[in-house]
Structures are given as C-alpha cells and as structure tokens.
Amino acid sequence: MTLNWANRITIFRILLIAPFVSFMLKTNDVALSYGTQNAMRYVAILTFLLMAISDGVDGYLARTRNQITKLGAFLDPIADKLLMISACLLLASQRGHVRGFLLPPTVVVLIIGKDMFLLIGFAIVYLITSQIHIVPVFVGKLATTLQLSMVAAILIGPEASTVLPGWIWLLRTLWWSAAGTAILATLIYIRNGSRYIEEYEQNLANKTPD
C-alpha cells in the first residue's frame, strides 16, 4: 500500500511526539540552568505548534486531493490521542509541568478517560462487527480543539501571564471546558457505537434465513 501525503504527514506528527516529550522533561531538569530549561520549553512549544499545524494540513490534503483512506481515518485520531495523553501527563507531572501552571489531575483523568473509553469502544465494535467504525462528531472535534488550545495556553503561560494578569483564570476556564466537552463527547460516542452495533445485529438477523 502506497502512503499518500496526508498519511505521511500524520505519521510524521506521531513521530514528533517523542522529541516533544523529551524537551518537556528537560524543562524542570535541575541539572540544567534556568535559561536552558526555558529554551527547552520554547523548543517544545515550536514542536507542539508544528504538530498542531500538521493536524490541519493532513486533513486539508485528504479532503482537497481526495486522499481520504481507512488508514488515514484510523491514524489521525490515534495521533491526536497520543499527543493529548502525552501532553496531559507531562503538564500534570512534577518533571514536565510548566511552573505556576500545573494541570489539575482531575482534568487529566477526564481527558485521558475519554480516550480510554473510546479505545475500548472501538475494540468492542470491531470484535462484534469486524468493521472499523470511526465517525467523528462535532463535539469530539470541539473537545480536541479545546484540548490543543489548553495545552498551548499552558505552554505559553509564563509569558502570557505577564501581559494578561487574568491569564490563569482564562486558562482554568479553558481546561475545565476541555474536560467537560470530553465527557460529553464520550457519552455521544457511546450512544453512536451502541446504535451501530444494534443496527449491525438487526441487519444480520434480517439476512439470516428462517
């Protein structure tokens, strides 16, 4: 199978997660100077922005060049989830957090919990129907957008808070909104997955001869 450019960009985005994690872990490395720690965070920000931009680029190429494939439909959400899980765990940890902007564990649990539920649901649907059924919904896309915005806002928190004193309140609103939409998206995906399984079983029953 030949990879198209949309899928190549998605794979490139997945590969960028490793250096992003590495740079973030160095932002609180006591063996490094404060200036070097900040430099690592800046590089992490650039890496994150590159991944966020590539997310839009691969989707644009897939739509405009008629390069939508099953592989792309599978890899794209996987890339988003791997990035979010990595970023949330880092930003809530002592080694990878941004000083003064520690992500609350509850937010992390809700966001990662959504992805875990979706992964389990995907496996259940595949085991029952032998079909790869991935249908994005608006709330799911909104949740991903809010999560990406949340991570970006935390990463630039030290600089943004000096310009906008109320940045921490904006940030708190953003991360709880991201957590709330994650819960809502989970409920919608559970409902849609249940309906898909019911329709599949009904169609199977109708095709079975008496």
**Prediction pTM value:** 0.87
Higher pLDDT, 77 or 168: 168
Q: List, for residues 64-74, the tens digit of each pLDDT value.
A: 888 777 777 77
SS3 69: coil
Q: List, for residues 34-73, the tens digit of each pLDDT value.
A: 899 999 999 999 999 999 898 888 888 888 888 777 777 7
Q: Is the pLDDT of residue 84 over 70?
A: yes
Q: How far apart are CA 157 and CA 74, in angstroms?
A: 33
- 166, with CB counted inside 10 A (0-12, 13-18, 19+), is exposed
> Please, which pLDDT band fits residue 7 given cuts at 50, 70 and 90?
confident
Average pLDDT for the chain: 88
Three-point CA angle 144, 24, 183, nearest 5°:
25
- pLDDT confidence of residue 23: 95
Instruction: List Cα–Cα distances, 198 to 45, 98, 192, 201, 204, in angstroms.
Output: 44, 46, 10, 5, 10
> Please, which pLDDT band fits residue 26 given cuts at 50, 70 and 90?
very high
Q: How many domains does the chain fold into?
A: 1
Torsion of CA 94, 96, 98, 101, to 10 degrees: -50
- pLDDT confidence of residue 177: 95
CATH code of the domain containing 65? 1.20.120
Q: State the residue range of the domain holding 93.
A: 5-207
Three-point CA angle 47, 9, 108, nearest 5°:
50
